[in-house]
Amino acid sequence: AVTAVIVVAAGSGERLGYGMPKAQVPLGGETILMHALRGVVASDVARQVCIAVPKGDTALRALIAEFTVDLVDGGPEISVVDGGTSRADSVRAALAVLEDGTEFVLVHDAARALAPERIFERVSEALAAGAKAVIPTLPVVDTIKTVAETDGADASIAPEVVTGTAPREQLRAVQTPQGFELATLVRAHEAAGLFDEKQAAAVTDDAMLVELLGVPVHAVRGASQSLKITTPLDLIIAEGLLEGPLG
């Protein structure tokens, strides 16, 4: 089956706080984006890799051009698009340029720079086995509670009050790459295009849009190296992984 991988790298990296797009931040002497792209290419699942970069970016585009030149014959077609304001907008921009005949698409966060190639393969295998949507997940280690803002007299005690405890054995932390039948993901994103501002802001991954269509989303095991580099602590962990068992 013809598979494309979308790498979303158009975020600004506010929480990492480097004053540059997160994909451009150094990790182990390279950029976060280069690590992510190497994982994608090493897995050999994609005929096309489409990368969404921040609108107006030139630095990442230059890095991608260099990476493309160095690819051996038979490697994937690399394309670049301007990302959008939200992650979902960036995914939609990339979906719009996928080649005709693409059957499956994997959507991957550049921020999950160290996602191992076996996860791309695992997700692709589930698609080949008939899944229309598949996500890599890990069990949750923390107890997760829902909270609400406190009001009235209790507000002077603490800002939030617990409204419930989710059963931990049923919870999973969700990673990327997330894999989809292309037609299903396109339909899911078309539906999301009609969301109001509040609904749009609540979209944190692609699978939730597919869930809203009523299409089953399958879960395979993810990897702890696939952590999303979000905060300075995550970057320290990623550096440590490169120096240790992965490096």
Give the footprint of ligand CTP on this chain (CB under 6 A): 8-15, 22-23, 52, 83-87, 90, 109-111, 228, 230
Among ligand CTP, Mg ion, none, residue 90 binds (CB under 5-8 Å by kind): ligand CTP
User: Binding marks (x or -) toward Mg ion, 1..40, rule CB under 5 A?
Assistant: ----------x-----------------------------
Quickly count: other Cβ atoms within 10 Å of residue 140's Cβ. Answer: 14
- 3-state SS assignment for residue 80: strand
The vertex-202 CA angle with 155 and 118, nearest 5°, equals 120
CB 178 within 8 A of CB 133: yes
Minimum gap (Å) between residue 87 Cβ and ligand CTP: 4
Distances (CA, A) of 236 to 36, 103, 227, 243, 244: 17, 37, 12, 11, 12
Q: What are phi and psi of 77, to 5 degrees?
A: -70, 130
Minimum gap (Å) between residue 182 Cβ and Mg ion: 24
Among Mg ion, ligand CTP, none, residue 111 binds (CB under 5-8 Å by kind): ligand CTP
Dihedral over Cα of 134, 51, 232, 118: its sign: positive
Q: Which is nearer to Mg ion, 11 or 21 (CB)?
A: 11
Q: Which is nearer to ligand CTP, 200 or 219 (CB)?
A: 200
Minimum gap (Å) between residue 7 Cβ and ligand CTP: 8
Minimum gap (Å) between residue 195 Cβ and Mg ion: 17
Contact residues for Mg ion (CB under 5 A)?
11
